[in-house]
């Protein structure tokens, strides 16, 4: 049976064929190519970074690309996952709460993604069961093969149709051998079989260990795990080797020998100072040409588009390498022991620092250890401070102490989501005379609930739909500093993930004391951005939004640009005052 016969049978639901796979409307076999990235040895190696970097250099050639992350967990989305276990929750413009890798794709590709670019086992199984209840399987017993694997293939092809893309980049979460992603591997194996030759390029991302006691790189774990991948019928076309240092030729040769992958398709993906160096590294290794050859796409290259795209990217890297005059930004939160909890903030600071020619260094400040008594010492060495998003009571007192110190001492401040609410609470207590002011999330009996759920939201509580998620338009006051930062825009669009708001009955009192709500919802009902007068403070800005989610290398977020510039001025004004604290270079 040839490919035409296979596709002629697809979609049939009789006992006469086992090629049961429904196709989305408008999909033509062969209209799209697929690059499938699978991890081996261990998770957390940077499949998203590799996949997005590879997608970027194909995009540079004029090809339309669309990424998708396939997660094995049964959650419908990432919204309820603890940052300690899974890193930050990245929110798309359409409100989908997803894996942090989607942020990597958006930043690298400079495009907004949708819920089509992310799926979980929970979503896949839910759709299969819904179809079964509707009788769409026409009496067949519903099984992992062909129905569940068929649903995966349907979703990949639907993404191809709706995005009109040339290449879909499929990142499979976890590693080969995990129980939860076994059916994903089977689905992409079937996909390659159905689509035919030159349709799929499989990439194995592996890890080369270097035990300190041995002092040399060892390839055996990588060999065994790649063989495990081959055992399920997936033969990689490319092997990317993660390691701390460049992988030796000896190790690359061993992996080539044991995997049947030519040596020029086995390459080192070792640690670099910024992820934005990786696209060029892949290009130098010829990985882009290997993918084009494997997928028979060389005729689609556009040399003029590639030259322009590379020039823009090269300019960013040149400015990144030339950045000097370091400033130190403190991030005050309760997840500081896991940097992935604030991945987008780290990236947004790098974008802003590179734009200004400034090297941003980060001090991690655990808000649970911060008090009124030690806050001055803990913030002594920073030039600016950020309080990021979060939920719950733990660490709140430390954050309030941090805001008070920043406000009273002219320390540049940027509050994000929860950091916006904390700024309102601190201001209400210390500038409005509202003792005990707080949020009903923290204390249901607070005497002054300056942060609360709006009445219209309470009606939605039983439906679980009272959280504001995704992109929202913000009306910006024309006479504000924020308006100038956004180029005089009357409206900006940012992404939100929160439930509590500034209580309307306290707005006039807060503004009378000097707090300007310069960004509001279009109906003026919800406060979304605040600032203090520059006469009172050089840079005190907070937003209920997650401004870090929409910052891009070539288009830094204005609020982060403002923070880094203000931090530089603050550092210059300190006249060489010593800086203390643990520093981590933003990368």
Helix (H) or strand (E) holding 432: none
Q: Is 548 a catalytic residue?
A: yes
283-309 in b/e form (b: 16+ CB < 10 A) is: bebebbebbbebbebeebbeeeebeeb
Residues 316, 356: Cα–Cα separation, whole Å: 11
List the catalytic residue out of 32, 417, 432, 518: 417
List the catalytic residue out of 155, 448, 498, 546: 546
Give me 445's structure tokens: 């009996």
Could you tell me which residues are beta bridge partners of residue 386?
331, 414
Q: Is 147 a catalytic residue?
A: no
Give me 277's structure tokens: 């160096």
For 96-100, the CB contacts below 8 A with 24+ separation are 96/470, 97/469, 97/497, 98/69, 99/48, 99/69, 99/71, 99/173, 100/48, 100/340, 100/343, 100/344
Residues 291, 25: Cα–Cα separation, whole Å: 28
CA distances from 73 to 40, 80, 135, 147, 158 (A): 18, 12, 26, 18, 21
Neighbouring CB atoms inside 10 A of 57's CB total 25
Mode of pairing for the β-strands spanning 324-333 and 501-502: unpaired
Q: Is 356 a catalytic residue?
A: no
For 404-409, the CB contacts below 8 A with 24+ separation are 404/372, 404/375, 404/430, 405/375, 405/376, 405/379, 406/379, 406/540, 407/532, 407/537, 407/540
Please compute Rg for the chain using Cα positions: 26
Catalytic residues: 417, 546, 548
């Amino acid at each position: 049976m040839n490919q035409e016969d296979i596709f002629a049978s697809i979609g049939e639901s009789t006992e006469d064929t086992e090629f049961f796979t429904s196709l989305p409307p408008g999909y033509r076999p062969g209209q799209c190519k697929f690059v499938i990235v699978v991890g081996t040895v261990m998770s957390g190696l940077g499949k998203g970074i590799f996949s997005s970097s590879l997608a970027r250099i194909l995009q540079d050639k004029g090809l339309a690309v669309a990424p998708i992350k396939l997660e094995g967990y049964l959650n419908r989305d990432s919204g309820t996952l603890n940052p300690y276990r899974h890193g930050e929750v990245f929110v798309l413009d359409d409100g989908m709460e997803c894996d942090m890798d989607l942020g990597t794709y958006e930043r690298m590709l400079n495009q907004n993604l949708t819920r089509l670019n992310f799926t979980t086992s929970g979503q896949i199984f839910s759709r299969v069961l819904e179809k079964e209840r509707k009788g769409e399987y026409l009496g067949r017993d519903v099984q992992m093969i062909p129905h569940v694997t068929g649903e995966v293939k349907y979703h990949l092809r639907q993404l191809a149709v709706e995005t009109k893309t040339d290449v879909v980049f499929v990142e499979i979460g976890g590693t080969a051998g995990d129980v939860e992603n076994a059916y994903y591997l089977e689905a992409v194996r079937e996909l390659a079989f159905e689509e035919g030759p030159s349709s799929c390029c499989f990439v194995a991302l592996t890890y080369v260990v270097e035990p300190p006691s041995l002092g040399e790189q060892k390839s055996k774990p990588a060999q065994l795990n790649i063989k495990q991948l081959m055992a399920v019928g997936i033969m990689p076309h490319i092997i990317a080797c993660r390691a701390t240092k460049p992988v030796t030729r000896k190790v690359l040769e061993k992996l080539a020998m044991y995997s049947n992958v030519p040596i020029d398709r086995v390459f080192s993906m070792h640690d670099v100072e910024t992820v934005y160096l990786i696209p060029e590294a892949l290009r130098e290794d010829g990985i882009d040409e290997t993918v084009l050859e494997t997928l028979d796409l060389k005729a689609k290259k556009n040399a003029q588009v590639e030259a322009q795209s590379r020039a823009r990217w090269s300019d960013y890297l040149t400015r990144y390498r030339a950045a000097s005059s370091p400033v130190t930004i403190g991030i005050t939160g309760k997840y500081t022991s896991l940097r992935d909890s604030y991945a987008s903030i780290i990236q947004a600071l790098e974008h802003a620092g590179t734009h200004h020619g400034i090297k941003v260094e980060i001090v991690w400040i655990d808000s649970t250890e911060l008090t009124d008594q030690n806050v001055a010492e803990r913030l002594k060495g920073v030039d600016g401070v950020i309080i990021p998003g979060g939920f719950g009571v733990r660490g709140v007192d430390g954050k309030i102490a941090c805001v008070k110190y920043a406000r009273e001492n002219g320390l540049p401040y940027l509050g994000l989501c929860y950091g916006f609410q904390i700024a309102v609470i601190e201001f209400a207590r210390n500038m409005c005379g509202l003792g005990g002011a707080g949020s009903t999330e923290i204390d249901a009996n607070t005497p002054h609930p300056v942060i609360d759920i709006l009445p219209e939201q309470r009606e939605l509580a039983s439906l679980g739909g009272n959280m504001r998620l995704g992109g929202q338009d913000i009306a910006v006051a024309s006479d504000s500093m924020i308006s100038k930062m956004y180029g005089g825009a009357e409206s900006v669009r940012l992404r939100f993930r929160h439930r509590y708001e500034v209580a309307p009955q306290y707005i006039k009192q807060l503004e009378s004391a000097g707090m300007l709500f310069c960004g509001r919802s279009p109906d003026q009902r919800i406060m979304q951005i605040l600032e203090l007068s520059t006469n009172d403070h050089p840079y005190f800005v907070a937003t209920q939004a997650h401004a870090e989610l929409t910052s891009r290398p070539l288009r830094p977020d204005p609020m982060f640009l403002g923070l880094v510039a203000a931090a530089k001025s603050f550092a210059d004004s300190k006249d060489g005052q010593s800086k203390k604290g643990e520093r981590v270079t933003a990368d």
